[in-house]
Amino acid sequence: MPAPGHLDVHAFEARATDGDLDDLRARLAAARLPEAETVYRAAPDPRRWEQGVPLADLVEVVNYWRTGYDWRSFEERLDRIGQFRTTIDGLGIHFLHRRSARADATPLIVTHGWPGSIAEFIDVVDELADPKDADAPAFHVVAPSLPGFGYSDKPAATGWGIGKIAAAWVELMERLGYSKFVAHGGDWGGVITTVLGGRFPEHVLGIHTLTPQPPPGLTTDGLTAAERTWAEETRDFWGGPRVAFAKQQAARPQTIGYSLVDSPVGLLAWVLDKFAEWTDTEDSPFETISRDRILDNVTLYWLTRTGASSARIYYESHGGVNSFDPELRVDVPSALTVYPHDIEKCPRPWAQQRYRQIVRWNSPETGGHFPSLEVPDYFVRDLQEGLAAVLAANR
């Protein structure tokens, strides 16, 4: 529960109406689908996805979404963890809050990205709060929904970029009675976590991020062959056609938003495409992530009508006054983990140019962009060990 005395923090329950769920099923049943892709190959073969989500895969997931998926069980899990809302700078912020039973627990804020949500964390919150291993660190876990995502409000004006979000997270934690805390994130959440560590060292004891941000303009001179490969793969990602989704959402989030809010099949395909490409799998994301967990995430976007508003984080934070500060230095203890199939892989020598006190560096052998869903047990251990190193550096 939130700390006593904060009347501006109130409990929240997620409850879709039966009408909303009936409407979703009706739209799925009436979906108009295109013909099959022209690069068909027998599964398993990652080249099946060269033109996007294969028709056969999409039809299978749509049928399960319509006839087998249970949204109510996800709502119940959110309620068991504990859901709350508060208003910061005029915007309602939704968050999960799971307090630990341990007296030595440390406050921890975990931040998701796009196309993720708080659904990324529901399988790991309990173990982070009350670990089975008594020697592992315990945390009071706070998992907010980014502005424009999930049950947080949709900004009605520009300005909610990564800097303003980081400042809002400090205010959120203070309202909960946590004046000092650690932070974790990946994707946009990793960028926001870096901003937290760089701009708010008086509040942030240290950070753990999956997406270390190197300063611009660094050369590959002196890098190992493996590090050079990381740098080249990251450069190829941001410079090639695979980044078209980000350019679309940065330039015209409203335009793509009409499809994402009006068509559940369009939304599913837009999100599933990224889960397929960014997971450490041979063919399908369902090799490591259940259909239920991906549909928890997609249905949350659908029911909250956040296809357009969530896309705007790219508009807000790619270039302009709200973009990432290239000069930002992070002096607080930092634990950095780079998974092998992530879309951004920062070599350690580059990371050291921004993160000036790296207390733990980890590059696992497996895992992609969504490790809390792909390899949840490993993810929890890595986060525990990384933040244990951060906390030890504060003693």
Q: What is the mean pLDDT of residues 221-250?
A: 92
HSE-CB of 131 using CA atoms within 13 angstroms = 20
pLDDT at residue 153 tops 80: yes
Model confidence at 7, in pLDDT bands (50, 70, 90)? low
pLDDT at residue 110 tops 90: yes
Label residue 42 left, alpha or beta by phi (over 0 means left) and psi (-120 to 50 means alpha): beta
Percent of the chain with pLDDT over 90: 91
Q: pLDDT higher for 323 or 8?
A: 8
For 131, 352, 358, the CA distances from 226, given in Å and listed in that order, are: 35, 17, 20
- Determine contact, residues 120/188, Cβ cutoff 8 Å: no
Ranges 17-31, 77-91, 313-327: which has the least confidence: 313-327
Model confidence at 242, in pLDDT bands (50, 70, 90)? confident
Average pLDDT, rounded, for the chain: 95
Per-residue model confidence as pLDDT tens digits over 64-96? 999 999 999 999 999 999 999 999 999 999 999
Tokens describing residue 333: 């203890």
> What are the residues whose beta carbons fall under 8 Å from the beta carbon of 314, sequence distance 6 or more?
114, 246, 249, 250, 253
- Determine contact, residues 273/52, Cβ cutoff 8 Å: yes
Q: What is the mean pLDDT of residues 301-329?
A: 89
Q: What is the pLDDT of residue 44?
A: 81
Q: What is the mean pLDDT of residues 323-342?
A: 94
Q: What is the mean pLDDT of residues 122-136?
A: 97
- 3 state SS of 132: coil
Q: What is the mean pLDDT of residues 50-71?
A: 97
Tokens describing residue 358: 């790296």
Per-residue model confidence as pLDDT tens digits over 347-385? 999 999 999 999 999 999 999 999 999 999 999 999 999
Separation CA 169–CA 167 (nearest Å) = 5
pLDDT at residue 288 tops 60: yes
**Considering only CA atoms, which of 394, 366, 383, 342 is closest in space to residue 213?**
342
Tokens describing residue 319: 């270039």
Q: What is the pLDDT of residue 6?
A: 55
Q: What is the mean pLDDT of residues 173-186?
A: 98
Model confidence at 42, in pLDDT bands (50, 70, 90)? confident
Model confidence at 41, in pLDDT bands (50, 70, 90)? confident
The owner of tokens 């990564």 is 162
Q: What is the pLDDT of residue 4?
A: 44
Q: What is the mean pLDDT of residues 137-146?
A: 98
pLDDT at residue 338 tops 80: yes
pLDDT at residue 1 tops 80: no
Helix crossing, 264-278 with 253-262: angle to 10°? Answer: 110
Separation CA 19–CA 74 (nearest Å) = 17
pLDDT at residue 46 tops 80: no
pLDDT at residue 321 tops 70: no
Sign of CA dihedral 257, 258, 264, 270: negative
Q: What is the mean pLDDT of residues 12-35?
A: 97
Domains in the chain: ranges and CATH:
9-393 (3.40.50.1820)
CB atoms within 10 A of CB 281: 19
Model confidence at 45, in pLDDT bands (50, 70, 90)? confident
- Determine contact, residues 387/137, Cβ cutoff 8 Å: yes
Tokens describing residue 273: 């495409």
pTM of the model: 0.96
pLDDT at residue 320 tops 70: no
